[in-house]
Structure 1
Amino acid sequence: MDTLAELRAGRLACATRLDLSCGLTEFPREIFDLADSLETLNLSGNALDALPDDLGRLHKLRVLFCSDNRFTTLPESIGQCTKLDIVGLKANRIAHVPAVALPPSLRWLILTDNQIEEIPETLGHCTGMQKLMLAGNRLVRLPDSTAACRQLEMLRISANRFEALPEWVRSLPRLSWLAAGGNTFDTQAEDAAITARSVPHVAWQDLTLGKKLGEGASGVIHQATLGPSQRGVAVKLFKGAVTSDGWPHSEMTACIAAGAHPTLIAAQSRINGHPDGTEGLVMPLVPPSFRTLAGPPSLASCTRDIYTDDAKWTADIALRIASDIASAMQHLHARGILHGDLYAHNILWNAQGGGRLGDFGAGWMTGSLDASQTAALQRLEMRAFGCLLEELLERCTDAPPAAMSALKDRCMHPNVAARPSFDEALRVLQQEAAS
C-alpha cells in the first residue's frame, strides 16, 4: 500500500516523519491526525500551490520540505509553526515572502531557485539562523535586519542581482561559507578572470568516458582517457541549471582561474564540441587510494560535516592535511578566488599523499571588490578553515600539535579582523612540521 493510502487508512499513527510525493494538488487533511507526533513533513515533488491556513495545528513540526511544487507565495501559515527549525521550498515559483511567513525559530531556510525580489525585515527576528540559502532569485538586497542573525554560518546569495555585497556580511562573527558569484557586481570579474586565465581546449572526440565517479547538483564527474596516449583524467559535465551554490558558469570560472597547484583539484582543459552543447572541464584524476575526508552535514548537524567512526589519524597526518589545504587556499586567495565551500567533504586524502581540495561549486571572484572588502571576505574563509582544524584535531590518535590547536582558536576568533591570513596560517603549520 502506498504512503498516502496508509495515511488515509489511519495506519501511520504516531509517525514522526511523513514523505508524500504523489502528484498532490491539495494538502491531505489527514496529516493533521499526526499533529501530536509529526516532526518532519516532506511534500516535495508534487503540484501544490498552497498550504492550509491552520498549519500551526502541527505543533511539533520541526522540518518542512515543499520543494519542486507550484507555490508563488511562501505560505503565511508556515509562520504559525513555532517549533520549525528547517524550511525548504526550492524550485518553486515564489515571488513573494510575507513578513509573517518566517517563524523566529528558523535555523535553516532554503528558498533557492525561485523568483524572489525582496526578503522581509522579519528575517532579522530569526536570530538562531545558521544556514540561509537564497541562490537563484532576483534579489538586489537583503534587509539590514539580517545583521542580527549573528549565528549565521552559511549564506548563499549567488545568481541574484546584487549590485554590492551588504556591508554587514563582513562582520558576522560566525559566517564561514559565503557564495555570492553570478551577481551584477561580480559579472565583470568573472568575465575578466576567464579571459585572463583561460586553459587549453580539448575536443570532445578526443575523450573516452569511463565509469561515473560522482554526481553533484552542478554536474556529473566521469573517469576518462584523453588522446592517443590514453592519459587518465577526470571529466566534469555541467547540467546548466542553477544549484544551491549558484550558476555552473561561476563554478567553471573559478575552477579555470585557479590554475595548477599540487594540492588543488582544478581545471586542466575546457571541453569543446559536446554533441548536446554541454559545457565541461577536464581535471586531474586523483589516485583511487584517496578518499573523501568526511560526509556532508546532516539535517541535525546543519553546518558541520559528518565523519565515520573510523575517521582517525595521527597528529602528523592531520598536520599534513591541514598544511596542504592551507597551501591550496593561499593559492586561491592570491588569485582573487573565494572557495565558498571549504569543507572536509570537498577534500580527498590518504595517509601518504596528504589532502587535495576540490569542488568549486560555490567559488567566486573578488576582482570587483576593493582591497579591504577582499581581505575581510578572505578572513571569513579562515573560520571555515578553523572548523576543519577543529575536526582534524578531535580525531587525532596521539597528542595533537599545540601550534595547530592555537591556530584553530585564532581562525575561529569572533572578531573577523583578528583572524590570520592563509599566508600566516601556512607558515605556522610549516614551522610546526619542521620542528
Structure 2
Amino acid sequence: MSDANLDALRRGDLAGARELRLTGLGLREFPPEILGLADTLEVLDLGGNALTDLPAGIACLRRLKILFLSGNPMRRLPPALGGLPALSQLGARGCGTEEVPGEALPPALRWLTLTGNAIATMPEELGKRPALQKLMLAGNHLSALPEALAGAANLELIRLSANRLEALPPWLAALPRLAWIAWAGNPLDPLAPGLDAADIPWSALEPAEILGQGASGLVRRATWRAGEGPRPVALKLFKGAMTSDGLPEREMEACLRAGAHPNLPGALGRLKDHPEGLHGLVMPLLPETWRPLAGPPSPDSCSRDAYDPALRLLPDAALRLARATAAAAAHLHARGLLHGDLYAHNTLWDGEKGEAVLSDFGAASRLPPGAAGIPWQRVEVRAWGILLGEILDRCPPLSADPALRALARRCTAPDPAARALMQDALHALGD
C-alpha cells in the first residue's frame, strides 16, 4: 500500500490529500513531492524508513497535525520540526535518538512519544509548550527532568519507566492535572527480590484462541491441567520488548505483588519452560462476555478514552463500576503499588450489572514507603476522579447527583493536597 502511495504521490495523484502513509520503504531522503500537499496534509506517517534528517522546507506543511517518524535512524531530532505551526502529535520511538534540540519541539506540541531511544537530557523548552498533555519517555537514558517542566500546567500523562532516574522531582506530583505516571525500572525503583508464586510448566497448558493483544503481549484462552483436573484459564505471553509504558517484567512483578482481590484479574502463577523462552502469567479466565468499558484515547482526545456514544449506564451499574475501580486502586495503594494507567479502557466489565476488574499492569510502579507515597497516590486519585466523571456522564439519572459530582471534583482538584485518598473516596461512595 505504501509503495502505491509513493507512486501516486510522484504522479501527482494525491492532490488534496489529508493523510499520507509511506512506511517501511527504506527511504533515505524526504520525498519533496510531500511539500506539494502543504495546503491540505494533516497526518503524515514516515515510520520504518532510513531518514536521518528532515528538510527545513517541511515548515510549509502548515496544516500538519500528526507526524510519525518511528524507526528512522535519527540521532538528532530534526530542528525543522519546530517550524511546523500546527503539529500537535509527534512520534519518534526507536530511532536511536540521542539529542533533542529545543528548537525541534513545535509550538503546538500536545503529545510527544520518544520511547526507546538513547536520550540523556530533555531541553528546558519542553516545559514551555503550553498544550503539552502527554509525554512518553520510557526506555531512555534520562537521569533528570528539565526544571521548566514544573510549569507544564496541562500535562496529564507521563511515562518515565526504564530510565536512569535516582529520584523523582517533588514538583512532578504537584502538577495540577497529572493523573497517569509510570517510573518502574529506574534506579529509584529496582526490580524486587523474587516473589512467591507458583511456577506453571508450559507442558501443563493447552493454549487456544487469542482473547486480546496489547503493547506488552497477547492473552490466550488455555486449559491448565492442574492437580484437581482441567481448568480454563487466561495465559498472557509477554513479548519481552520495551512498551510505551515500560518493561514487561515489571508488569509481571506488579501483577504478582498485587495479590488477590475481587476487582483485580489476579495471577495463578508464572509460566516456566516456554519453548521460545517467553515469560508469561497464568490468570483466572473472565467470562467471555466481559469487555473494556471504553476504547483507548484517540489522537483528538489525547489523554481521554473513546466511549461508545450509545453507552448508557443504569444507576446500580454505574455505582458498581465506580466502587469496583475505587476498591481496586485502594487495594493497590495499600499494597504499595500505583497502577499508573487507571482508565476505562483498562476496566473490564460485564456490560450490564457493573461487575468489573481493573486490568493491565504495564504502567504499574512501586510507591515510596510511608508518607512519601501519598503525593503519588493523589496523582492516581485524579485519574479515578476523571473516570468517575465519565461514568456519571453516561448515567442520566446520576449525572447531576450533587454528592457524586462533588466527589469527582474533590478527586480532580487542581491542588493535589486537596484531593481525597483512594480509601476515603471509596468510603464516600459507600455513603
TM-score (norm 1): 0.95
Shift of 1:328: 0.8
| Superposed displacement of residue 37, structure 1 | 1.1
| Deviations 1:263-287 (CA, angstroms, capped at 9, x unpaired) | 1012220011111111100111110
Partner of 1:8: 10
CA distance in 1, matches of 2:83, 2:396: 48
CA distance in 2: counterparts of 1:406 and 1:372, whole angstroms: 26
Match of 2:199 among 194, 198, 201: 201
SS of the residue corresponding to residue 186 of structure 1 reads: coil
User: Is residue 78 of structure 2 the alignment partner of residue 101 of structure 1?
Assistant: no
SS of the equivalent of 2:356 reads strand
Q: 1:89-138: CA deviations, max 9, x gaps?
A: 01111011112111221001010010101101111111210000000101
Gaps of 5+ in 2: none
Q: Distance between the aligned counterparts of 1:290 and 1:84, measured in 2?
A: 38
More deviation in 382-391 or 17-26?
A: 17-26
The residue type paired with residue 312 of structure 1 is: R
> Across the two proteins, how many residue pairs are aligned to each other?
424
Provide TM-score, normalisation by structure 2: 0.96
The CA deviation at 1:49 is 1.3
Match of 2:138 in 1: 135
Q: CA deviation at 1:402?
A: 3.6
Distance in 2, matches of 1:129 and 1:276, equals 41
Alignment check: 8 A CA contact 1:131 1:303 kept: yes
The 3-state SS of whatever aligns with 1:90 is: coil
Question: How far is 1:370 from its partner?
Answer: 4.6
Question: After the TM superposition, which of the residue ranges 278-287 and 352-361 deviates more from structure 2?
Answer: 352-361
The whole-number CA distance in structure 2 between the counterparts of 1:259 and 1:399 is: 33
Query: 1:395 is matched with which residue?
Result: 394
Offset at 1:47? 1.6
Q: CA deviation at 1:404?
A: 2.1
Deviation at 1:413, TM superposition (A): 0.4
1:273 match: 273
User: Conserved in 2, the CA contact under 8 Å of 1:208 and 1:226?
Assistant: yes
8 Å CA contact retained: 1:319, 1:404: no
Q: Tell me which amino acid in the other structure corresponds to 1:257.
A: R
Q: Any stretches of 5+ residues in structure 1 without a counterpart?
A: none
Letter in 2 for 1:6: A
User: Secondary structure of 2:233's match?
Assistant: strand
The one-letter code of the counterpart of 2:22 is L
Give the CA deviation at 1:68: 1.4
The structure 1 segments of at least 4 consecutive aligned residues displaced by more than 3 Å after TM superposition are 399-402
RMSD of the alignment, in Å? 1.2
How far 1:398 sits from its partner (Å)? 2.1
Give yes or no for contact 2:316–2:354 (8 Å, CA) kept in 1: no
> How far apart, CA to CA, are the structure 2 residues paired with 1:172 and 1:141?
17
SS for the counterpart of 1:8 is helix
Contact kept in structure 2, 1:403 and 1:429, CA below 8 Å: no
Distance in 1 between residues matched to 2:407 and 2:109, nearest whole Å: 32
Report if the CA contact (8 A) 1:84-1:105 is conserved: yes
- For residue 348 of structure 2, give the secondary structure of its aligned residue in structure 1: strand
Task: Tell me what 2:123 maps to.
Answer: 120
Give the Cα–Cα distance (whole angstroms) in 2 for the partners of residues 333 and 216 of structure 1.
24
Residue in structure 2 matched with residue 364 of structure 1 by the alignment: 365
Between the aligned residues of both structures, percent identity stands at 48
The code of the aligned residue for 2:427 comes to R
Q: State the secondary structure of the residue aligned to 1:160.
A: coil
Q: In 2, are the aligned partners of 1:182 and 1:246 still within 8 Å (CA)?
A: yes
* Equivalent position SS for 1:210: strand
Structure 1 counterpart of 2:214, one-letter code: G
Letter of the 2:205 counterpart: L
Native 8 Å contact 2:320 2:353 kept in 1: no
Aligned to 1:328: 328
Equivalent residue letter for 1:363: A
Residue 371 of structure 1 deviates from its aligned partner by 2.7
